[in-house]
Structure 1
Amino acid sequence: MSMQKPVEQRTPARRLKPSPRKGRLLHVRSGLSPEKTLLVRITIVIALIALVIAVFWFDRDGLKDQIDGSISFPDVLYFAMITVTTVGYGDIVPVSQTARLIDAFAVTPIRVFIWFIFLGTAYELVVQRIVEEFRLSRIQKQLHGHIVLCGFGHSGLIAAQETVAKGHPADRIVVIDGSEDRIQVAADAGFIGLLGDATSEETLTKACVGQAKAVIVSTGRDDTTILVILTVRHLSAATKIVANIKQEENIKLANLSGADLVVSPPKIGGYLMADAVDSQHATPFLCDLMSAGGRMVLTERRAEPDDVGKTMAEIDAGVVVQVHSHGRNIAFTERNRYIVQPNDLLLIISPPQSGEEAEPW
C-alpha cells in the first residue's frame, strides 16, 4: 500500500480573528539549536575583539604604558580585552587624539554591543528557558479534556474555527505546528501554541495527549499524519484520534495505525461536486449542515429518558436521521419502526440554538 509523495503544508490563507486576551505560546524556540546559537554568538564576540585588537595595534603609537613606556603586542591584547569588557585600569591609556576618538566612537559601541550579546544569550539560554518551563508546567496542570490539533494549515485552521464555534473554549485547544508564524497566529487567536514536531513523543507529551478529549491530525502529508497517529496511540490508548488523509489508499493504513475516525477531504469534495451536477440546493445544504454556523446543525447525543420508548419519528427535538445502538446503525428508513433504547446515540438535524446566528450559504 503506497504512501503519497511528500507535499509541503501551505501557510493558512488568512489569519484567525484575534481574541481580546493575548495569546500564549506554550513553547517557542529559535530556528537554531541552543548550541549553534551559542557558537554563532561566540564567533561574533571573538571577531569584534579581534577587530579592536587590530585597530589598537595599528594605532599603538597613540597608547602609553604607565609602567615601562613601551607598547608591545601583549600590551595591546591586554588593553583591548579590558577596554572591551570594562573601562580599563589606567595602567595603559590612550594619549593621542586619534586613539581617544577610536576608543570613544569605535570601541565603546563595540563594548556595548558585546554586553548586549552576553545579556541576550544569558536570557535566551537560561532565564527564558526557566520562564518557559514554569509557564509550561502551569498550563499543563490545567490541561484535561482539551483538544490537541496537530498541524495548523488551512484544514487545521478551519477545524479550529469550527471547534470553537461548536462551543469548545479556544484556550482549551493546543495547536502543534513546526512553523513559528502559524503558531503565533494560533496564539493570537487565543489557542495554546506549541512550536515543535508533532511526530515527537516529547512534543506530544508536553501537549498532554494522554488527558486530551481528542487529537485532530491534519499535517498536510499522509506519511507524517500516520506517524503522528502511531505516536499518539503509543502514548495513549484511549484518546480519540481524528485524522485528515488525502489519498484513499492510505485511509486503511491510518485506521490500522490507530485512528478512530479518518476524514478524506478530497473524497468528500468529490461527493459534493457530484451532487452539484444534478441538483441546485443539495450541496449548499450539506455544507450548511456541516458548519456550526449554518441554518441547520447535525448533532450527536445520547438518548434522554424522555426519548426512550419512542420511535425515531416521535422524537420532537429535531429530525433523527440515524441511531447507533449496540454496534448497529439504524437507518432513517426505520424511523417509524425502531424504538429508541437507553444509551442509544442519536444523530439529529435541528435548527441552531436560540441566540446563534446562522450564516448564509
Structure 2
Amino acid sequence: MALLPHSTLKRKSTLPVWVSISWRVLAVIGMFVLAIGVHWFDRSGLRDNYDGHVSFADVVYFTMISITTVGYGDITPVTDEARLFDALVVTPIRIFAVLLFIGTAYNFVLKRTWDKWRMAVIQKNLTGHIIVAGYGTTGAEAVDELIARGTDPGHIVVIDCVAETLERARDCGCNILQGDATRDATLEDVKIRSAASMIVSAGRDDTSVLITLTARHLAPGLRISTVIKAEDNELPARAAGATTVINPVSFAGLLLANSCKSQHIADYMMDLASIDGPVALAERAVTPAEVGQPLSALATGIGLRIFRNNEMFGFFTPEANALQPGDTIVEVIHTQAKG
C-alpha cells in the first residue's frame, strides 16, 4: 500500500541573530580543530619542503591553508592515509565552510540589506493601498477575502503589534509593519494620506475607536471600515469617523435567527457576502448608458438600492424609476464561482 504524502511541521526559530551566527562560527572552529588534531597525530604523513621538520605551527598552517585554499605546495601529504584524509575529510570541510560563510553573509548581510532597501522603496511609493489595522481572526479573514476578490497582496499593508501574527500576513504576500496603529507616526509610516481605504479590527472596541479617530484625523477623506463587537460602541465608532461600522456579533445573530425559521436564507446571505458564492453584492457608479433607465432594467445584475446625494433609495421607491448621473448602485451579480 502506497504511503500517503504528509506535511512536515515548521516553526520559526526563536534564537537571536547573534546566537545563530555564534553556532555557525563554533561549527567551523570545531571542524578546524578536528582537522588540526588529525594532522598533528599523523604529522609523519606530511613533508615540509622548507626545512624537513613538521612542527605544530606547520600543522596549523597546513590545515588552515588546505581548508581555505588548495595549498601552496610547501607542505604536502606524502602517505596514503594523509592524502585520503585530505581528499575525503578536508575537502568536504572546505566546501562546507565556504557555503556556511556565504550563507551567513547572504542571510544576515546581503538579504537583510536588500529587503530593507526594497521595502523602503515600496513604502515611499505606497499609494492607493488598503491598510488593515489588526490581523486577528477578523482581520485575517478580511485579507483573505480581499485577495480572493482579486486585490494584489502587494497593495495591502497590515499593521499589528505581534511579530508572529505579522509573519502570517507576510506569508500571504502582504506588506507588514509592526507597531501601534493608534499612533500618528505609525499611520504616517504606512502613507495613510494616500491610501484607498482602511480596515480597523483591533480586537478591542476602545482600541478600534481610537485607531479610527487617529486615522480620520490624519486622512479626512479616507474610507474606514471599523469592526465593533458591542452594539453600544457603534455610535462612538461612527462619531470617531468610521465610514462603515460592522458588528460581526450582530450579523451572526441575524443569521442564527433566520436559520431558526427558514432553511435557505442564511446560506444565501453567506453567498452574497463571500466571493466564493455563485452570487455576490456589488457596488458601482451608474454608467452614462444607464442614466434615465429604471433600476430594474440593469443588464449587469439585479438592482437593490441607489445612493444619491448621501441618501439611500430602495428598488421600490419612485427615485428608482430613473437613474441619474452620480448615482451609486448596489446590485446582486452572478460571480460564476460555482458551476
TM-score, structure 2 length as denominator?
0.67
User: Residue 193 of structure 1: which of 169, 174, 198 is its match?
Assistant: 174
2:317 match: 335
CA RMSD of aligned residues (A): 4.9
1:124-139 counterparts in 2 under 5 A? 124-129=107-112, 131-132=114-115, 135-136=118-119
Query: How far apart in 2 are the matches of 1:319 and 1:301?
Result: 11
2:85 match: 102
Query: How far apart in 2 are the matches of 1:110 and 1:205?
Result: 50
- Are 1:66 and 2:45 an aligned pair? no
Question: In the superposition, relative to structure 1, how do residues 240 and 45 fare at CA in structure 2: closer, same or farther (>3 Å)?
Answer: farther
Question: In the superposition, relative to structure 1, how do residues 211 and 58 fare at CA in structure 2: closer, same or farther (>3 Å)?
Answer: farther
- Are 1:288 and 2:288 an aligned pair? no
Shift of 1:275: 1.6
1:4 match: none
3-state SS, counterpart of residue 349 of structure 1: strand
Query: How far apart in 2 are the matches of 1:59 and 1:235?
Result: 77
1:55 match: 38
Compare 67-76 and 112-121 and name the one that shifted more.
67-76
- Are 1:233 and 2:212 an aligned pair? no
Query: How far apart in 2 are the matches of 1:119 and 1:58?
Result: 31
Shift of 1:104: 1.3
Letter in 1 for 2:53: S
Where does the alignment leave 5 or more consecutive residues of structure 1 unmatched? 1-28, 187-191
Question: In the superposition, relative to structure 1, how do residues 181 and 40 fare at CA in structure 2: closer, same or farther (>3 Å)?
Answer: farther
Identity between Structure 1 and Structure 2 (%): 33
Question: In the superposition, relative to structure 1, how do residues 56 and 248 fare at CA in structure 2: closer, same or farther (>3 Å)?
Answer: farther
Shift of 1:344: 7.4
Query: How far apart in 2 are the matches of 1:247 and 1:36?
Result: 46
1:88 match: 71
- Are 1:357 and 2:339 an aligned pair? no
Shift of 1:288: 2.8
Query: How far apart in 1 are the matches of 2:63 and 2:268?
Result: 76
Question: In the superposition, relative to structure 1, how do residues 337 and 114 fare at CA in structure 2: closer, same or farther (>3 Å)?
Answer: closer
Query: How far apart in 2 are the matches of 1:240 and 1:251?
Result: 16
Question: In the superposition, relative to structure 1, how do residues 142 and 195 fare at CA in structure 2: closer, same or farther (>3 Å)?
Answer: closer
The answer to whether the 8 A contact 2:132-2:198 is kept is: yes
Shift of 1:88: 2.1
Shift of 1:64: 3.3
The answer to whether the 8 A contact 2:216-2:240 is kept is: no
Letter in 2 for 1:45: V
TM-score, structure 1 length as denominator?
0.64
Where does the alignment leave 5 or more consecutive residues of structure 2 unmatched? 1-11, 159-163
CA-to-aligned-CA distance 1:209-231 (integer Å, 9 cap, x gap): 44321233557x54998499479
CA-to-aligned-CA distance 1:154-192 (integer Å, 9 cap, x gap): 6556534543565x54366336484656644x3xxxxx4
The alignment covers a number of residue pairs equal to: 317
Query: How far apart in 2 are the matches of 1:242 and 1:303?
Result: 23
Compare 76-85 and 314-323 and name the one that shifted more.
314-323
1:276 match: 259
